[in-house]
Amino acid sequence: MKISEVKERILSYNTELIEWRRHFHMYPELSMEEVETTKTLAKELDKLGISYRLVEPTGIIAEIKGGKPGKTVALRADMDALPVEELNDTLAYASKKQGLMHACGHDTHMSMLLTAVKVLNDVKEELNGNVRILFQPGEEAALGAKLLIKEGALEGVDAIFGEHIWAPLDAGIVTCEEGPRMGACDVFYVSFHGKAGHGAMPESAIDATVMGASYVQNVQSIISRNIDPLHSAVVTVGKFVSGTRFNVISGECELEGSIRTFTEEERVMVETKLREFAEATAKMYGGTMDFKFVRGTDVVNNNAAESARVRNLVSRSFGDDKLRVEPPMCVAEDFGAYTDRIPGAFALVGARNEAKGCIWQHHNGNFNVDEDALKVGAELYALYALDFLGNLDD
């Protein structure tokens, strides 16, 4: 199949592509609750005659069986929305669910992949192999990729490709560098236990607020004094709860935070230090503590050959001027669970357009995308599968 033909087919489905995106945008669902979203996607697969398996509680593993023997390539799109109130109230397709919004762009991912699926299904008899289609729940909760893998999503798969619409990049720009692209994200919880007392009699109390404040300040040195300054890592305390009244010394302090790292060694080191700092802080002030560390997403690590394939496809189809080299980012994505196991690549597709007001960052209530970027993402999905299976010509 020629690149020009892929482009023509994508354009022929552009109206449906936009309609799907707007439908998904109007009816967002939270992580692992994407019940109606799953039903909508399943109905579309039924129309195309594509076999699939529903995953509990939500999600789909489907497959386009090629007419000729060959490898199997997987394409993945996530489905979940966020507990964010939509502020784009002038949009005809604004969220109809109060407090919920596709503020990260997963509505675009589903519609782009669904469009690519239509193109690939049109030529399935020509395919040298199979295309595994993954509509994944729970990315925002770092649960969905692990669930699909447990359900056999990667069995027999030779490589996987995913995309994320990206607000910081101008519409149509693509980046897909090799190596670590997005950091691992883990969450830690610390509870400091002291002894409550009267604000005028501190000698009879053990101040948990002071313990927490000391901890927040001191843990910043974990990065600045233990991580190579040429590496990237972040410790963030995002939640601090302590005290009940202005003249009461608090006996309890609850902290929650996240860490972002790019190597397993640094991940383990930061976890160890966070625990040690909590133990030392509690002991120093005469209190006690509880510490909990929960591993979230793994590093998204692009395979050299597969990321090179994506960049080559972008150059051939869209032009070298549409490629950008971007540094790794500490933001997290559970696509890393796939690249831990098989070769894969994860691309960012720009969607910023100041003239259309598409200037807001992900997870913001004003977030929106230039819908002209969707056909780029849809085409890239199709091109990757065709090229990997040896079915693409210039």
Residue 139 is among the residues annotated as catalytic for this protein? yes
d(CA 30, CA 102): 9
Angle at 97 between CA 92 and CA 98, to 5 degrees: 105
- CA distance readout (Å), 202 to 194, 195, 282: 12, 10, 17
Strand partners, 185: 260, 297
Sign of CA dihedral 92, 95, 101, 102: negative
Which entry of 29, 33, 34, 80 is annotated as an active-site residue? 80
Cα radius of gyration rounded to whole Å, the chain? 24
DSSP assignment of 51-105 equals EEEEPSSS-EEEEEEPSEEEEEEEEEEE---BS-----TT-TT--SSTT-B--SS
Strand partners, 242: 253
d(CA 247, CA 349): 53
d(CA 328, CA 338): 18
Which helix (H) or strand (E) is 174 found in, with range?
strand 174-175
Strand partners, 136: 78
* 169 and 361 Cβ atoms separated by less than 8 Å: no
* 11 and 118 Cβ atoms separated by less than 8 Å: no
d(CA 81, CA 349): 19
Residue 163 is among the residues annotated as catalytic for this protein? no
Give me the residue label for tokens 């065709």: 386
d(CA 131, CA 144): 20
DSSP type of residue 195: B
Which entry of 29, 63, 86, 139 is annotated as an active-site residue? 139
**Which amino acids are annotated catalytic?**
80, 139
